[in-house]
Structure 1
Amino acid sequence: MISTAQGNIKRIVAARMSPGEDVLLGLEKICKDYGIKDGVILSGIGSLDGAQFFNPVPLKEKKAGYGYGEPIILRGPIELVGLAGMICHDDKGETLLHVHYSLSDQYGTGHGGHLIEGNKVLMTVDVIIGEVDGIEMGRGYDEDLEVFIFAPKQK
C-alpha cells in the first residue's frame, strides 16, 4: 500500500545552532517557535561533539522481527554531512520529528542512522526547514510493525 498527499512549500525557515545545543531538541524548539506542525527538513550540515543514533536490528520479540536496540555511540569530532527528515504530528497534535543523518568521523568513515537526543553541536549546525501546506503530515503507531509510521493525508 502506498499513501500519498499533495501540497506545496508554504515557507522556509533557516536556523543555526550553536555549540552545545542538542540537535533534536533544537529542531523541536525551532518548530515550536515558528508553529510548524507539517514540514520537512530540507538540509542540515555542521559538526557534532560525538554522535548517537539508532539503526534497525533483528529483534525476535517484535512482530516484524526488527526494531531499535541500544544506540550506536561515536566519540570525538563528527562531521554532519547531511540531515533530512519529516516534521509530523500525532492525533493529538503533538509534534513528532522523524530525522535521519549521515555522518563522517575524523578518519572519513561514514556512519548514519536515526537521530536521537544527545547529539550536541560541536561548532555549528545549519538547517533549512520547509513548512508544507495542503498536507497533513501525520504519524501514528503501527501495531503490526510496533513502530511509528508516516501517514500523509490531504488537508
Structure 2
Amino acid sequence: MEAHALRLNPGDDLRGVLDAALKARGAEAAFVVSGIGSLRGARIRYAGVESAAVLDGDLEILTLSGTLSPDGAHLHISVSDAVGQVRGGHVAPGCIVRTTAEILIAWLPEWRFAREHDPATGYPELVPRPNT
C-alpha cells in the first residue's frame, strides 16, 4: 500500500478529480481513506434513490471515503451546511470544491478492483482481485 495526499482547488469536481487521479497513475485499486474541505454545492445520491439530490450553498466536507476502480468510484460523503445540518450519501458528479479539499488516498498496486453486476443486490458491486 502506498499513501498519497491530494489537494483539490476551487472549482474542481471532487469525483472527477479522483477518477482522473486513478487514471493518471495507471492504478487499478485505491481507497479514499479520508477527506475534508469545502464545497460550493453538491450532488449526493441518498440510499434507495435513483437520482442525486442537489444541495446548494456552502458546505463543509465532514467525511469522505470509498473505493476507486477503473470501473468507477464508489464514494460516500457527509457534509454540513451553514446551520450545521448534516446530509450524506453517494458522491455524484457535481460536488464542486469551494476553497479546498484535502484527500488521503491509499493506492493498492497489488490489487485490481472491478465492479460486476451482483444478482443479489441488482447493482455493480466491488470485486477485489490480486493483480497478477
Both structures adopt the same fold (TM-score exceeding 0.5) = yes
Equivalent residue in structure 2 for 1:76, among 57, 61, 69:
57
Give the one of 1, 16, 21 matched to 2:7.
Answer: 16
Partner SS state of residue 22, structure 2: helix
Contact 1:37 1:95 in 2 (8 A): no
State the alpha-carbon separation in 1 of the partners of residues 86 and 22 from structure 2: 29
SS in 2 for 1:118: coil
> Which one of 100, 116, 128 corresponds to residue 92 of structure 2?
116
Could you tell me whether the CA contact under 8 Å between 2:71 and 2:114 is conserved in 1? no
> C-alpha distance in 2, partners of 1:103/1:78?
6
Which structure shows the bigger proportion of residues in strand conformation?
Answer: 1
TM-score by length of 1: 0.78
The gaps in structure 2 that reach 5 residues or longer are none
SS in 2 for 1:37: coil
Q: TM-score, normalised by structure 2?
A: 0.90
Alignment gaps of 5+ in structure 1: 1-8, 58-67, 89-93
- Which residue does the alignment assign to 1:50? 41
Residue of structure 2 aligned with 1:129, choices 86, 105, 115: 105
Work out which of the two has the higher radius of gyration on C-alpha atoms and give 1 or 2. 1
Aligned match of 1:37 = 28
Tell me the SS of whatever aligns to 1:102: strand
Aligned residues: percent identity?
Answer: 28
Aligned length: 131
CA RMSD of superposed structures (Å): 1.5
Cα contact 2:28–2:109 (8 A) shared by 1: no
Q: Secondary structure at the match of 2:41?
A: strand
Distance 1:135 1:37 in 2: 7
